[in-house]
Every structure is written in structure tokens, then in C-alpha cells.
Amino acid sequence: MIAEDASPSKEPGTRLPARLARLARARFEFPRRGQFTDGNRIRLLSTGEEYFPQLLAAIESAQRSIHLEAYLYEDDSIGRKVTEALVRAAGRGVQVRLIIDGFGGGEHIRRLARELQPLGVQIRIYRPERWWRLQRRLFRRLHRKIAVIDQTRAFVGGINVIEEPPDEKGPRLDFVVECEGPIVSAITLSAERLWWTLSLPRLSEPAVPFPRSFGLRTQQPIRGGVRAALLLRDNLLHRRTIERAYTEALAAAQRDVLIACAYFIPGRRFRATLLEAARRGVRVRLLLQGRVEHLVQFYAQHALYGQLLAGGVQINQYTRSFLHAKAAIIDDDWATVGSSNLDPYSLLMAREANVLVRDAAFTSELRARMEQAIATESTQFGPEDLVRRSWPTRVFDWIAFGFTRVAIAIIAQDRHY
């Protein structure tokens, strides 16, 4: 992972050994990834219509630092508003960092890197190499969506920096959580580590000053706050952290499971755990994509519908607009919101970030929004709908699913998924 912008950073440099020592100490002082902390304030934001006003207001109010990560960062009305807010923040002395995936950001973010660097906005591009080189590692992308403001406020979810489609009946259904409290320390540390990794110099380039740290600060618990944890997925130490959190909760489920997922192609272990919960009498419902956005994923997940329906799982297809949510609730006090789909890309290849909340009030709020989507914005897909699918369509379902399995065996080197 390397940075696209090779020009020396305008940030004051620090010595590498001292920088490593600070990160090592933070490993013990800050909440570990996946470790629950108490005293957090977690606010649910539904769709970009709720999220972007809050994000822009937070950027405008920043006094010390801004860190923003996204997979997509479009050159549209939303992207331009965010960019202008970041430039204004840098102009008033705020340290601004932006990390965008090299494939998701495309040529726009490469151009933006050249334009914003002189204005004080520091940019790193995650894996800037082009995909046409067909190297396995290039499929391992940055898919998480994180914003950290002054180390006191953070946003984690599934919404990219992109405007809503103008010709749709409504905004994409997606969620973000706004966080305050000790969990922000874990999010900040994760952001700092990725920035540090992307700032490592290449041997072929002249040495540049190592980037200055934000100056990591531990956030104190908020009275009356909730229990929450940051879940990360990467390709080193936390390959199955998010998937394991799901399967452990599913194995302990007693009454109700409701999962909203844009791309639902889980592996064998996940499906077995889900079906076992249904066999125990747990009500298991899925809210899945009902409109074709990405062809292969859309049809590949239909290949699983027969097994799921036969196992007692209720399937609902979101049809009001595009479903982009990655959220779930289990029983009365387990909820997660983040960037990770339940498909091979998210679970085996991409960097992802979810927030896990153990709180009845938050779970109830998320449940109400998902129940509304099922009741008024979706259609239920039953066995009769499966039968009505034409045989060419069903054949294509299995071709798409087979292609996905083969691709995973080759790219992710996981034949047992």
C-alpha cells in the first residue's frame, strides 16, 4: 500500500523510531479493535440526506484535525461540497487528511490529489495501481467509510461521498453511526495506523519527512452512554473479525434476526449458522437488494434463495430505490452498522469497518427503520417467486454464483468459502 502523491508532505516531520514507539504505546492505552467500551453516545443517521448535513457541519466546526476515508469520492454536488469544506478547514489551520481507494476514486481522486495538495489537504490513495495489471493484491481494496473530527467525534457507516441518483424514487437506503466517547479513540487509532502505513516511503523515491501524528488522545466515557465496539476487517490480523461477530451472535440468537445487506453471498459457515438459528425457531429475515445495480452480485445471491427459503428464512427485496445498507439486529440489544456486506469481497478481500452496539434503545431505533423498509418499501420473495423465474434466469443465477466461487478460490485463495 503506497501513496500516490510523491511530493514531500507539508506536515512537520517526526523521526520514524519515535513514531513507531507512540503507536506501540497506543496499542495498550487505546481500546483494541473489537473490544467493547462503555460510555459511548451512538446516533443513527439514515441515508445521505441525514448524513451529509451532519458531516459538513462537523467539518466546518473542526478546530484541530479531520480524517476522512471513503471508497467512492465523486465529482458531483456532494463531492464538491465536501471538498470545499475540507479546503476551508485546511485554510484555517486544521490538519486535514483524506484517504480514497485507488479504484473507487478513479481518475477524479488522482486529479484532486494534485489540486488539493498545495492547498494544505493531505491525500493518500489506497493501492493506486491500475487493475489491468491483474495482480491478486490489487483486488484488496479500501471499502470502509470513516470520518474523524478533532478526535472527539466520528462517523462510521456505508455511505460514500456521492450524491443520490436524481431519477430515483428516494435516496439509497444506507446507514451511518455518529460516535462520541471512548470508541472514537479506537477509530482514531485505526485511522492513524492506516495513514502511517500509506505514508511509508518507497525505496525508489527520495526520503521525505515522516508525517506528524495527530497526537492521539483518549476519550473519556460519557455518562449514560452505551456499550459499543469498533470491528475492523483487514488482510493481516483481523481477517474474520466482522464475520465472527455475526456468527457468534447468530449462534446465541433466541428470538429475532434481521439483516439488511446490499450484497448477500455469505460463505458456507455463515449460511449454516443462519439456517441453524432458523431451525431453532428464531425468526430470521433478510432485507436484500431488489433492483439490479451490479449484475453478477445481484444474480449470484438469487442462487442461494432456494436453500434459504427451504430453511425458513424470510427474504424481502428492497425496491423503492437501491439498497446500500450493511446493518443487522439480533434479539433486543445487538446491532451493527458499517461498510461490510456479507459477500466474498467484503469478508475476504476489502478493508471494512463496522460499529457493534449493545443497547436496547439503539437496537429498537434501527429495528424501526428496517421494519419500515420491509413494510412499505419492499416486496417479499417467496417460493412461488422462485418457481416463476424463467429457466434461463435461473441458469444465469448459478453461472453468476459459480463465477463468484471460482473468483474467490483464485483471488482470495479460499476454496472453502
Separation of alpha carbons 390 and 230, rounded Å? 43
For residue 41, the cross-strand partners are 180
The answer to whether 99 and 68 have CB atoms below 8 angstroms apart is yes
The SS3 assignment for 66 reads strand
Separation of alpha carbons 244 and 233, rounded Å? 11
Q: Which of the residues are catalytic?
A: 143, 145, 150, 324, 326, 331
Residue 236 backbone dihedrals phi, psi, to 5 degrees: -125, -80
Q: Count CB neighbours of 85 within 10 A.
A: 19
Cα→Cα distances 174→225, 364, 404, Å: 24, 17, 24
The SS3 assignment for 343 reads coil
The answer to whether 277 and 284 have CB atoms below 8 angstroms apart is yes
Residues in the chain: 417
Q: Which of 299, 241, 303 is nearest to 271 (CA)?
A: 303
Which letter, b or e, does each residue of 349-382 get, where b requires 16 or more Cβ atoms within 10 Å of its Cβ? bbbbbbbbbebeebbebbeebbeebbeebbeebe
